[in-house]
Amino acid sequence: MSLADAVAEHVHDGDTVALEGFTHLIPFAAGHEIIRQGRRNLTVVRMTPDVIYDQMVGMGAVERMVFSYGGNPGVGSLHRMRDAVENGWPQALELVEHSHAGLANAYVAGASRLPFAALRGYAGTDLEHGGAVAFVECPFTGQRLSAVRAINPDVTVIHAQHADREGNVMLWGIAGVQKEAVLAAERAIVTVEDVVDELEPRPHAIVLPSWVITAVCHVPNGAWPSYAHDYSKRDNRFYAEWDEIARDRDRFRAWMDEHVMAAERVEGTA
Amino acid sequence: MSESRNGAATPEERMTVAAAREVKDRQVLLVGVGPPNAAANLARRLQAPDAVLIYESGAIEAKPARLPLSIGDDDLAETAAELVSVPEMFNYWIGAGRIDIGFLGAAQLDRHANINTTVIGSYEHPKVRLPGAGGAPEIAANSREVIVLLRQSKRSFVEKLDFTTSIGYGDGAGARERLGFRGAGPTVVITDLGILKPSPDDAELELAAIHDGVTLGEVREATGWALRVREPLETIPPPTERELETLREMRAAVRSAA
């Protein structure tokens, strides 16, 4: 299926959308397609919003963001996210904040179809007042633990290295929280580097069978400027450049117009 | 900032070297980006070659050949003894208390070593929106010890945090136990001016040492509360040539790779 068709069919205005990938395998091409198709009022979920949500926020696709670390990893701020929060540009952005442990466990609960997950942490912090966290008493020991509400996205989008011709997916390298985000979602779109005849066993690989995935799209280099282990290197230079591009509204818009809006629809097949 | 090969250490270099010295061989270190990353990797090249580096991206026993720019660099995955998912990292490793030293940074710190990395100003209308919590709240709660690294100034060392992201000693002695946290909390706060440690009595930070060439007046001037000072106040020996050269070589390798 082409990425354009997959996004048109499965990502709707107002949906809760999770584009996951922890520094590695971030589905940038899919995020760009969502922007190109002009989706609005999305609730976007990601542990590390990274440059992809900075772009989606700056282009006005996002109403609400659920996240746990909103920085440009190794560089500094996400300026489009900051501009939306600090100045409401291009529109106000509602934030739902977690810690990494909290959001990771919210996906685990979602994947398990449980209403919440329990963990230790959050107590005494101001994060506990944001509505994302409550406290429960352990029925066995009486310990007070923090609880996070499950996250079940309408659609999760990830990038992986391989799919076979039946649509089974394999990814390897830093695993992040993609498996949980896919299994927590109603629908899942996967972009892949390669379509292969057979998935070969590999160390640290995760396999997602075709019957938990809604659409597979062949999109080589679909994680740039993030990377796909054994296919590409993280474009650290671009992440540093993004700091300059995103600092200025006009420069940001010009970059997006040239590199995203004017780009060809991604017509991958699988 | 001086970067010449034989130039004097910059304030940031003094801070990183002082942090590296806190690491003992074979300790298990949870490392984030920035100065903690440099400190942990410096320690591994000096007195703690068998220190175990864990990155929250899932790399356990990572042995990066060069200083990683982000915690998700493929070098970490390539060299790790084990690679785990993010939920596993936070539940089985960090949450279960398997970390000896968790390194944390801060935008603001208070007298009880509580940390703000969320906003400057009000939450609803922040003056500066910071990245937020990341792994810090649970690293702060569950690591056996925490080392906090930050530049010291009246803006960062504040009487009252604008937002409490991670707990050091809460409102003082006994707070961590009341909150159900297992780790000891921030046993050392290292800045570009000196080293602070919590009072054994009430867990308020006290200045324990200052870097060579820094005056007590400068430290007081860079602290937003009436700072307690230990007697005798120690002086931190300046970075040795070996420490400084190793740190600079590591950094130069990152720049040439970027």
**CB crowding A17-55: b at 16 or more within 10 Å, else e:** bbbbbbbbbbbbbbbbbbbbeebeebbbbbbbbbbbbbb
Q: Residue B126 and residue A76: Cα distance in Å, rounded?
A: 17
Half-sphere exposure of A62 (CA within 13 A, CB side): 31
Judge whether residue A270 has pLDDT over 60: no
Chain A residue with minimum CA distance to B171: A124
Q: Which numeric CATH code is attached to A3-98+152-261? A: 3.40.1080.10
**How confident is the model at residue A97, as a pLDDT?**
94
Domain spans in chain B, listed from the N-terminal domain onward: 11-257
DSSP result, chain A: --HHHHHHHH--TT-EEEE--SSSS--HHHHHHHHHTT--SEEEE-SS-HHHHHHHHHTT-EEEEEES--EETTTEE-HHHHHHHHH--SS--EEEE--HHHHHHHHHHHHTT-SEEEES--TTSGGGGSSSEEEEE-TTT--EEEEEE----SEEEEEEEEEETT--EEE-SS-TTHHHHHHHSSEEEEEEEEEESSPPP-TT-EEE-GGG-SEEEE-TTTTTTS--TTT----HHHHHHHHHHHHSHHHHHHHHIIIIITSPP-----
Asked whether the bond before B232 is cis by omega within 30 degrees of 0, the reply is yes
**Inter-residue contact A4 to A267 (CB < 8 Å):** yes
Q: Residue A133 and residue A67: Cα distance in Å, rounded?
A: 13
**Inter-residue contact A117 to A150 (CB < 8 Å):** yes
Please report which confidence band the pLDDT of residue B2 belongs to, taking 50, 70 and 90 as the band edges.
Answer: very low
Q: Which of A121, A122, A107 is nearest to A45 (CA)?
A: A107
Q: Do B170 and A126 touch (CB under 8 A)?
A: no
Average pLDDT of B200-211? 97
**Inter-residue contact B113 to B70 (CB < 8 Å):** no
User: DSSP label at B71?
Assistant: T
């209403």: which residue's tokens?
A: A115
Q: Residue A179 and residue A182: Cα distance in Å, rounded?
A: 5
Decide if B81 touches A, using CB distance below 8 A.
no
Average pLDDT of B178-186? 93
Distance from CA of B241 to the nearest CA of A (A): 27
Q: What is the pLDDT of residues B106-119, one digit of tens each?
A: 999 999 999 999 99
Distances (CA, A) of B209 to A98, B189, B222: 35, 11, 15
Cβ contacts of residue A37 below 8 Å, gap of 6+?
Answer: A4, A7, A8, A11
Q: What is the pLDDT of residues A73-112, one digit of tens each?
A: 888 999 999 999 999 999 999 999 999 999 999 999 999 9
Average pLDDT of A177-204? 97
Chain A residue with minimum CA distance to B97: A120
Radius of gyration over every alpha carbon of chain B, rounded to an integer in angstroms: 18
Average pLDDT of B175-195? 95
Q: Which numeric CATH code is attached to B11-257? A: 3.40.1080.10
Chain B residue with minimum CA distance to A230: B74
Q: What is the pTM of this model?
A: 0.94
Q: Do A120 and B83 touch (CB under 8 A)?
A: no
Q: What is the pLDDT of residues B206-234, one digit of tens each?
A: 999 999 999 999 999 999 999 999 999 99
- Kindly report the average pLDDT of chain B as a whole number: 93
Q: Do B135 and A100 touch (CB under 8 A)?
A: yes
Distance from CA of B27 to the nearest CA of A (A): 23
Please report which confidence band the pLDDT of residue B94 belongs to, taking 50, 70 and 90 as the band edges.
Answer: very high
Distance from CA of A226 to the nearest CA of B (A): 9
> How many A/B residue pairs have CB atoms within 8 Å?
174
Judge whether residue A264 has pLDDT over 80: no
Q: Report residue A25 CA to chain centroid gap.
A: 10
Average pLDDT of A17-28? 97
Judge whether residue B57 has pLDDT over 60: yes
Catalytic residue among B3, B12, B22, B56: B56
Average pLDDT of A44-68? 98
């629809």: which residue's tokens?
A: A265
Please report which confidence band the pLDDT of residue B3 belongs to, taking 50, 70 and 90 as the band edges.
Answer: very low
Classify residue A103 as exposed, middle or buried by CB count within 10 Å of its CB (0-12, 13-18, 19+): buried
Q: Annotated catalytic, B221?
A: no
Average pLDDT of A50-59? 98
């959308």: which residue's tokens?
A: A17
Domain spans in chain A, listed from the N-terminal domain onward: 3-98+152-261
**How confident is the model at residue A116, as a pLDDT?**
97
Distance from CA of A196 to the nearest CA of B (A): 23
**How confident is the model at residue B257, as a pLDDT?**
63
Which residues in chain B (203-242) have CB-CB distances under 8 A to chain A? Answer: none
- Kindly report the average pLDDT of chain A as a whole number: 95
With contacts defined as CB-CB under 8 Å, which chain A residues touch B129?
70, 77, 81-82, 85-86
B122, B125, B129: best to mutate for the A interface, most A CBs within 10 A: B129
Q: Do A204 and B126 touch (CB under 8 A)?
A: no
